[in-house]
Amino acid sequence: MVNIVAVAFFYLIGVATFLIINELIYRRLGVQGEFTRKFAHFSVALATLPFPYIFPSHWYVLVLALVFALFLFATWHSRHLGSIHSIERKSWGSYLLPLSIYLTFLVSDLAGNKFLYILPMLILAVCDPLAAILGMNIKKMNGQIKIFGKPIQKTWIGSGAFFILSFLISIIALYLHLTVLDLKTFWLAFAVATAGTLAELVSWRGVDNLTIPFGVLLVLLLFL
């Protein structure tokens, strides 16, 4: 019990230290807020991957998520932490990330399957920020996706990159989990990539931090 609390405390210290460094990069080097925000998203989500092997109960993760969410709210309200909050668009993504981490962990914990947490979080950590960065910065041979003739804030390159990367990640992760590379591995990876891409495609204002892992989670619960 004491050791687990100590690990949780060091996680908080580690995240706080990273956010301070990220803030310094934003202020001193003049890096755009969108980039430092995505880098924080990638790093924090990736750092949570060992959670199922560290915390025996979802209550520990709930406390960490609440502390992180309160910290984000306090820094937004006090106009600090520009590396996270200084973006032109409206987004709830920062607050939904800790919620997403907790709820995905909760489902994984109740199901008794650590993989149900690892793959959704891995796709959220890697594919989402990369797709956003590519979509925002590659202009040539790119364009906004239209749904029923109405353009949305998603691009062909961004969504395409999300699908390809999530498919490759899923194949590797499923192979390591199932220890077999067969037709099921490929079609399940395809289903995961499709669900994640569609969840990202139809989400707005950062809601994809919640819909992406839950879309992947749904596929795994149904077919794994």
pLDDT band, very low/low/confident/very high, at 58 (cuts 50, 70, 90) = very high
* pTM attached to this predicted model: 0.89
Supply the pLDDT for residue 115: 97
Residue 89: per-residue pLDDT: 62
Residue 122 CA to residue 27 CA, distance in Å, equals 29
Reduced to 3 states (helix: H, G, I; strand: E, B; else coil), residue 153 is strand
**Token code pair at residue 223:** 């077919």
Residue 87 confidence (pLDDT):
65
Provide the 3-class DSSP secondary structure of residue 103.
helix
End-to-end Cα spacing for the chain: 33
pLDDT (0 to 100) of residue 134: 74
Residue 159: what pLDDT?
83
- What pLDDT does 36 receive? 84
Q: How many CA atoms lie within 13 A of 169 on its CB side?
A: 22
Q: 185 with 178: CB under 8 angstroms?
A: yes
Length of the chain: 224
The percent of residues in the chain predicted with pLDDT above 70, rounded, is: 87
Which of 22-26, 37-41, 135-139, 184-188 shows the lowest mean pLDDT across its residues? 135-139
Percent of the chain exceeding pLDDT 90 equals 46
Predicted local confidence at residue 5, as pLDDT: 84
- Residue 51's pLDDT band (boundaries 50, 70, 90)? very high
Distance CA 136, CA 47 (A): 25
pLDDT, tens only, 151-208: 556 677 778 889 999 999 999 999 999 999 999 999 999 999 999 999 988 877 778 8
pLDDT tens digit sequence for 92-137: 767 888 999 999 999 999 999 999 999 999 999 999 888 777 766 6
pLDDT value of position 90: 67
Helix or strand (DSSP H, E) at 87: none
